[in-house]
């Protein structure tokens, strides 16, 4: 492996200086791998990409366990790949297996490691203007070309949900390996599917609005209108409906409005919006 500013081969010779002492200044992520290990070949490029993306926020030390058996023994490596995080001279956490990029980013964030300035300056999402249907076509082709990358199927499930095909999205999600259950994208998608199920057999948007115009205290209509608006991407308007139900009758349907708000907070990606409505909910409740 060619070394770079952020990725290097760790050996017994340079380990003390390049990993232990260096981690006093910059966290070091150690990737224990072997050439014969297929999951290692899947995870390795992900870690190397992140080391570049994070622009020096951490360094990646690659340990070839076939060549560095004593290092692997010192760390008690029994499964490959194994990744260990060293900060301030101490081993503080780690994980095993080929996690998707999103899960590795969450692991780094948990330990206060965030992308460096270089990533913010150059990162551009090439699919930012893509419609859900365009995303579905692209991802289906990428999956056909890369059947060993289940993270693509998670992205496909999200695109299917955005296109309005909740049943297909749920089928793709259910087919993913169990380790993806805690992925942030998967958790949010599960929440979106729960909201979609609440609309089975529900009246149309126009009918719900008409019901509320006739009777502003029609809490069932407000609840379903809030779900519809949330699913349609009008998050603030949907949250307003749940909040209004909470104001009118906080214990309606065993506190369903509060449950809807909390569930919505878990699926929304807008931290400012979520923070604002958390405060509004607290003001009503307390």
Helix 235-248 to helix 271-285 angle (10° resolution) is: 10
* DSSP string computed for the chain: ----SSEEE--TTTHIIIIIIGGGTS-EEEEEE-TT-HHHHHHHHHHHHHHHHTTTSSEEEEEETTT-HHHHHHTT--SSSEEEEEETTEEEEEEES---HHHHHHHHHHTT----HHHHHH---TTTT--HHHHHHHHHHHHHH-TT-HHHHHHHHHHHHHTT-HHHHHHHHHTS-GGGGGSHHHHHHHHHHHHHHHTTTPPPHHHHHHHHHH-TT-HHHHHHHHHHHHHTT-HHHHHHHHHHHHHH-TTTTTTHHHHHHHHHHHH---HHHHHHHHHHHHHHH-
Of 37, 57, 84, 208, the active-site residue reads 37
Of 40, 60, 198, 219, the active-site residue reads 40
| Of 118, 113, 46, 53, the residue nearest 86 (C-alpha) | 113
Active site residue 127: no
Active site residue 37: yes
Q: Which residues are catalytic?
A: 37, 40
């Amino acid at each position: 492996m060619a070394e770079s500013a952020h990725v290097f081969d760790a050996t017994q010779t340079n380990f003390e200086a390049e990993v232990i002492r260096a981690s006093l200044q910059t966290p070091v992520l150690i990737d224990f791998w072997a050439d014969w290990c297929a999951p290692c070949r899947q995870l390795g490029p992900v870690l190397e990409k992140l080391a570049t993306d994070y622009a020096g926020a951490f360094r990646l030390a690659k340990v070839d366990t076939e060549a560095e058996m004593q290092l692997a023994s010192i760390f008690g490596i029994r499964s490959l790949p194994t990744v260990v995080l060293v900060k301030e001279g101490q081993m503080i956490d780690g994980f095993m297996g080929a996690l998707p990029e999103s899960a590795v980013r969450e692991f780094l964030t948990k330990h206060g490691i965030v992308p460096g300035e270089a990533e913010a300056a150059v990162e551009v999402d090439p699919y930012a203007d893509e419609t859900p249907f365009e995303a579905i076509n692209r991802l289906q082709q990428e999956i056909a070309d890369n059947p060993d990358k289940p993270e693509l199927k998670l992205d496909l499930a999200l695109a299917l949900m955005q296109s309005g095909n909740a049943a297909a999205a749920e089928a793709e999600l259910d087919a993913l390996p169990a380790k993806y259950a805690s992925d942030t994208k998967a958790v949010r998608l599960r929440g979106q599917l729960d909201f979609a199920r609440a609309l089975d057999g529900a009246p149309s948007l126009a009918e719900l609005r008409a019901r509320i115009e006739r009777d502003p205290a029609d809490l069932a209509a407000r609840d379903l209108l809030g779900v519809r608006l949330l699913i349609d991407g009008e998050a603030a308007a949907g949250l307003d409906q749940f909040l209004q139900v909470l104001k009118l009758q906080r214990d309606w349907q065993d506190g369903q409005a509060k449950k809807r708000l909390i569930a919505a907070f878990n699926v929304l990606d807008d931290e400012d919006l979520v923070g604002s409505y958390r405060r509004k909910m607290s003001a009503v409740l307390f």
